[in-house]
Amino acid sequence: MNNELPLSLKDIYSTGYTTDRKGERRKAIDSTVSEAEVNTLMKIVSDLKAVITLETGVAFGASAIAICYAKKDLQSVDKMHYGVDPNQSGFYANAASVSLEREKLDNQFTLLEGPSHTEIPKLIDRGVKLDFAFIDGWHTFDYTLIDFFLIDKMLKVGGMVAFHDMQALSKQKVLRFILSHRKYKIQKQYAVKGNESLIKTLKFFVWRGFKYPLLLRSWFYWHYQLFNSSGLIVLQKMQDFEPNYDFFKRF
């Protein structure tokens, strides 16, 4: 995999800004995935040789650029990245599309502008199968679970799904559902290793504990985020699985 970031991502991480369709500079760094996280997304896509991919929550486009860029040299006429976002032409003024055009990656990107619960079923009806998906949409339990539930219908066995902002207790609840109700395995080799100093890591730990005190009772927090500011986790689908109609297990 080429570890060199495309120019659009370099601009976001060096200046903190990107440009939308109106030509206006938009502050993007506070609402996007980190540089370490996009490198991890690119590695996953490269390792999987992922042809068909999807994400919920395109925003300013950092993850979309990374995913498309990671497979730009993949020799497949079918390669496509679907981005689901109800606010791309509204709030974000098509900033993601502008960057993808700049990188000449727009021919492998399809925007599905609308909520995921209305847009993803259209892909299911078409029989689209996914190699990789990235869930970074609305962070509540119900929306995250719906994103996963629909993506699971499309994800190939052996494919992977990544979740962002896992410091959200709502998302940790979804993770517990997945691990108890479906056949997925956490891929620890894709854990994002932070480059922060020990002092900065401790400050972040204290800040997060004060802001979200319930995290101190979270098994996920103590196992995966104690020394890491990233909220990215990656799961691999081990088999297609549907429980019996009356199955239930506490999660």
Burial group, residue 159, by CB count within 10 angstroms (0-12, 13-18, 19+):
buried
Cβ within 8 Å of residue 211, ≥6 positions away: none
Model's pTM, two decimal places? 0.91
Q: pLDDT tens for residues 157-197?
A: 999 999 999 988 999 999 999 999 999 999 999 988 766 67
Amino acid symbol at 67: I
User: Which uninterrupted H or E stretch holds 220?
Assistant: helix 219-220
For helices 62-70 and 35-48, angle between their N-to-C axes, nearest 10 degrees: 30
Mean pLDDT, the chain, integer = 92
Q: What is the pLDDT of residues 186-240, one digit of tens each?
A: 999 998 876 667 777 777 777 777 887 887 788 777 777 666 667 899 999 999 9
Give the mean model confidence (pLDDT) for residues 119-123. Answer: 98
Q: Does residue 238 sit in helix, strand or coil?
A: coil
**pLDDT score at 195:** 61
Residue range 129-150: mean pLDDT, rounded: 98
Q: How far apart are CA 240 and CA 247, in angstroms?
A: 16
Q: Is the predicted pLDDT of residue 79 greater than 70, yes or no?
A: yes
- Higher-pLDDT residue of 54 and 211 is 54
**Cα–Cα distance measured from residue 177 to residue 182, given in angstroms and rounded to the nearest whole number:** 8
Contacts of 51 (CB under 8 A, 6+ apart): 71, 74, 76, 78, 79, 80, 131
User: So what's the pLDDT on residue 80?
Assistant: 98
In this structure, of 23-37, 71-85, 88-102, 170-184, the range with the lowest mean pLDDT score is 23-37
Pick from 84, 63, 82, 54: nearest CA to 161: 54
Whole-number percent of the chain with pLDDT over 70 = 95
Alpha helices in 16-168 (DSSP H): 35-48, 62-70, 95-102, 116-126, 141-154
- Residues 221, 162 contacting (CB under 8 angstroms): no
- Is 137 a residue whose pLDDT tops 80? yes
Lowest mean per-residue pLDDT among 47-61, 123-137, 202-216? 202-216
Q: Is the pLDDT of residue 2 over 70?
A: no
Sorted by where each starts, the structural domains of the chain and their CATH numbers stand as: 7-195+231-237 (3.40.50.150)
Query: Do residues 251 and 177 make contact, with C-beta atoms less than 8 angstroms apart?
Result: yes
The pLDDT, as a whole number, for residue 105 is 97
List the one residue out of 148, 154, 159 whose CA is nearest residue 125.
154
- What's the pLDDT score for residue 3? 66
Residue-level pLDDT at 111: 98
What average pLDDT does range 107-126 have in this prediction? Answer: 98
